[in-house]
Homo-oligomer: A and B are copies of this chain.
Amino acid sequence: MTGLGIIAGGGDLPIAIAVSARDAGKHVFVAALLGIADDRVAQFPHEWVSLGQTGRTLSLFRQHKCEDILLAGKVTRPKWNEIKFDATALRKLPKVMAAALQGDDALLRSLVAVLESEGFHVVSAAEAAPGLLASEGAFGRHGPSSQHEADIALGIGVVRALGAFDVGQAAVVCDGLVLAVEAAEGTDAMIKRVETLSENIRGTTKKPRGVLLKARKATQDGRTDLPVIGVQTVQNAAAAGLAGIAVEAGAALIVNRQGIVKAADDSGLFVCGFKSPQSSV
């Protein structure tokens, strides 16, 4: 059986995927990005690699019999001039740099192409850890109202319309009004911003209103970057006075579902998976 090699960026997601794959009986090896990945990778066979060590990383995967490779976790766009590239990296670099200028999706697609040209098979988080995929319907005790469902539908439209521009995967909608759209700032910062808006158009912790919507971008390659929520997302949404969170069923990753359900139930939020309508793009 081929092992699963994980190139781990920051945050909980690479750890959650590794745990899920290991629990499913897979052999896991982690190439942890130096200064970026979480120390909890230490519970798996692993090596620390820096961003420019493409050749070394690929050798490690071969050595550990990993043919399936997965990229996961947050990586801030690197300062290219501070990276020390090894020979393999330098050979692949021009294509990757050119792609990087075209946006995150293009950059990730180019990294996938590099790995596949070296004989690896790039797998999605959905393939490596299907247990993390959002299911349809309410996760916890609370569910969306019909107003929330209308807001979810509006948010899906916004994210779909922006997918073609390689812009974020999330929006906040409250009673028919789009309060915030995510671009480069990330979901946490976007949720936080809702708290700065006039109370007339948003909810409060006392009277929650509005929905955080996360969906897959139309252009998004599932192998590289699915939308993710975790316990922190629920806590942030509650603090911002939102009534709930909706994620695309089968196309969003749920890190620590048990913790999410508890946080949502405790704060009165709903968290639900919605069935995606056919993309209109």
Q: Which chain A residues have a beta carbon within 8 Å of chain B's beta carbons?
A: 76-79, 101-104, 154, 157-158, 161-162, 164-168, 171-172, 175-185, 189, 193, 196-198, 200-201
Copies in the assembly, this chain: 2
A52 to chain B, nearest CB (A): 15
Say whether A183 contacts B184, CB under 8 Å: no
Determine the residue in chain B with the shortest Cβ distance to A155.
B165
Checking B79, B101, B176, B178 against A183 with a beta-carbon cut-off of 8 angstroms, the contacting residue is B178
Contacts of A165 in B (CB 8 A): 154, 157-158, 161, 178
A199 to chain B, nearest CB (A): 8
Say whether A184 contacts B164, CB under 8 Å: no
* 26 A–B contacts from the bound complex (CB under 8 Å): A76-B198, A77-B200, A78-B200, A101-B175, A101-B176, A102-B176, A103-B176, A103-B177, A104-B177, A158-B167, A161-B161, A161-B162, A161-B164, A161-B165, A162-B162, A166-B177, A166-B178, A168-B181, A172-B183, A180-B183, A180-B184, A180-B185, A181-B182, A184-B201, A185-B193, A185-B197
Checking B172, B180, B184, B200 against A197 with a beta-carbon cut-off of 8 angstroms, the contacting residue is B184
Say whether A181 contacts B162, CB under 8 Å: yes
Checking B77, B168, B171, B201 against A77 with a beta-carbon cut-off of 8 angstroms, the contacting residue is B201
Most B C-beta atoms less than 10 A away, residue of A103, A154, A166, A177: A177
Determine the residue in chain B with the shortest Cβ distance to A180.
B183
Most B C-beta atoms less than 10 A away, residue of A172, A184, A196: A184
Checking B79, B104, B178, B189 against A167 with a beta-carbon cut-off of 8 angstroms, the contacting residue is B178
Say whether A200 contacts B76, CB under 8 Å: yes
Known contacts A161-B165, A162-B162, A167-B181; can you find 12 more A-B pairs with CB under 8 A? A77-B200, A78-B200, A101-B175, A103-B178, A154-B165, A166-B177, A172-B183, A179-B183, A179-B184, A185-B193, A185-B196, A193-B193
